[in-house]
């Protein structure tokens, strides 16, 4: 049984042990030094107290051994913290390739989540045990922060930006979601839960309820509705670049720079098309800022990510097409 007031949240994801081990190491090192310094302080204050008005202590002229020791020992300890911390940091920030992507949109004052198969949830996220889950996090309004203490993940939800976090749940159960960034009146009530289920139970859960539209299908529909299709044609005759196969590749820009066509670039190109124009094209695309919601943007990104290169017309690695 867990005590009423546990010292640390339970560990329910693969990263939790790593984070805790590092945290406990830093706590132990700082604890030993803090206690040591206090003991030395009290001992020395008593031992070398001034005993009379005429007390003149001898002058001491440094000690090379002591100075080297108090430089080298902390340096080594800090180096361990740095290298270990960097290792955990990289692990936390690199979701495995086989992770399922869940989109997370913060909005005053709720969390809106969507599964890759299209199911939407509010303030609740059902996930299968043992499967890596990548969260693509953004916000519609203020800055929020998606925090699941039992998984040791916390990531800001920032308007206009996609932040990524991931976890692999290791224990069936229900775990708190908190908003960890003050975002207004009901910030403290912007909570929810992650429900970790056995993979079979998760499949059953997915199958229950109406069959939703997947983000890719929703994105494809929007792509037509917003008339993106008139300029971004599958052949190279459109006024905009061909989008098939562009995702994840380097794109050569008009200024000569290159950029990787990732989630963030695709999003930016929809809301602020003039920011990074692909080389060989005119900045003729209108902005879609305010016309599409964050969830619709995520659907469009998912759709563009899903577009494969047709076998006969492979674009170059820079994503540019030869033009007449």
Q: Smallest distance, Å, CB 183 to ligand CUA? A: 3
Residues 160, 264: Cα–Cα separation, whole Å: 9
Q: Which is nearer to ligand CUA, 126 or 144 (CB)?
A: 144
Q: Identify whether the C-beta of residue 125 lies closer than 8 Å to the C-beta of residue 177.
A: yes
Q: Does 106 interact with ligand CUA (rule: CB under 6 A)?
A: yes
Token pair listed for 180: 């960890």
Q: Which is nearer to ligand CUA, 109 or 223 (CB)?
A: 109
Q: Does 179 interact with ligand CUA (rule: CB under 6 A)?
A: yes
Number of residues engaging ligand CUA in binding (CB under 6 A):
9
Residues 157, 314: Cα–Cα separation, whole Å: 36
Lookup result for tokens 């899903």: 306
- Among 10, 76, 182, 283, which residue interacts with ligand CUA (rule: CB under 6 A)? 182
Residues 94, 107: Cα–Cα separation, whole Å: 26
Piece of 174-182, 221-229, 250-258, 284-292 that binds ligand CUA (CB under 6 A): 174-182
Q: Which is nearer to ligand CUA, 142 or 261 (CB)?
A: 142
> What's the distance, Cα to Cα, between the start and end of the chain in Å?
72
Q: Which is nearer to ligand CUA, 179 or 301 (CB)?
A: 179
Q: Which is nearer to ligand CUA, 106 or 241 (CB)?
A: 106
Token pair listed for 309: 């290169």
Q: Residues with Cβ < 8 Å from 224, sequence gap 6 or more? A: none
Whether the CA torsion 171, 176, 177, 178 is positive or negative: it is negative
Q: Smallest distance, Å, CB 306 to ligand CUA? A: 31
Q: Does 190 interact with ligand CUA (rule: CB under 6 A)?
A: yes
Q: Does 144 interact with ligand CUA (rule: CB under 6 A)?
A: yes
Treating both helix axes as pointing N-terminal to C-terminal, what angle do 294-306 and 263-271 enclose, rounded to 10 degrees? 120
Beta bridge partners, 138, equal: 105
**Class of residue 260 by CB neighbours under 10 A (exposed 0-12, middle 13-18, buried 19+):** exposed
Q: Does 189 interact with ligand CUA (rule: CB under 6 A)?
A: no
**SS3 of 192, please?**
strand
- Among 183, 246, 297, 301, which residue interacts with ligand CUA (rule: CB under 6 A)? 183
Q: Which is nearer to ligand CUA, 146 or 151 (CB)?
A: 146
Piece of 1-9, 35-43, 115-123, 180-188 that binds ligand CUA (CB under 6 A): 180-188
The residues that touch ligand CUA, with contacts defined as CB under 6 A, are 106, 109, 144, 179, 181-183, 187, 190
């Amino acid at each position: 049984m867990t005590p009423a007031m546990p010292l640390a949240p339970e560990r329910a994801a693969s990263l939790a042990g790593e984070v805790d081990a590092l945290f406990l190491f830093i706590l132990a090192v700082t604890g030993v030094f803090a206690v040591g310094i206090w003991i030395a302080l009290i001992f020395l204050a008593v031992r070398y107290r001034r005993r009379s008005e005429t007390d003149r202590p001898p002058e001491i002229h440094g000690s090379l051994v002591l100075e080297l020791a108090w430089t080298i020992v902390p340096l080594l300890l800090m180096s361990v913290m740095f290298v270990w911390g960097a290792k955990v940091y990289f692990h936390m920030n690199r979701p495995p390739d086989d992770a399922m992507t869940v989109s997370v949109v913060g909005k005053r004052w709720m969390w809106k989540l969507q599964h890759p198969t299209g199911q939407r949830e509010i303030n609740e996220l059902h996930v299968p045990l043992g499967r890596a889950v990548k969260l693509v996090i953004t916000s519609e309004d203020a800055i929020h922060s998606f925090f699941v203490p039992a998984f040791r993940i916390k990531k800001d939800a920032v308007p206009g930006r996609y932040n990524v976090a991931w976890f692999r749940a290791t224990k069936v159960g229900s775990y708190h979601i908190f908003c960890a960034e003050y975002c207004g009146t009901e910030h403290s009530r912007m909570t929810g839960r992650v429900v970790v289920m056995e993979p079979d139970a998760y499949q059953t859960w997915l199958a229950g309820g109406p069959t939703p539209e997947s983000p890719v299908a929703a994105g494809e529909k929007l792509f037509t509705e917003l008339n993106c299709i008139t300029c971004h044609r599958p052949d190279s005759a459109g006024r905009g670049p061909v989008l098939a196969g562009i995702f994840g590749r380097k794109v050569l820009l008009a200024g000569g720079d290159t950029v990787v066509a990732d989630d963030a670039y695709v999003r930016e190109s929809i809301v602020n098309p003039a920011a990074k124009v692909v080389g060989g094209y005119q900045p003729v695309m209108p902005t879609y800022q305010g016309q599409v919601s964050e969830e619709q943007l995520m659907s469009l990104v998912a759709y563009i990510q899903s577009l494969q290169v047709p076998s006969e017309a492979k674009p170059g690695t820079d994503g540019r097409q030869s033009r007449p």
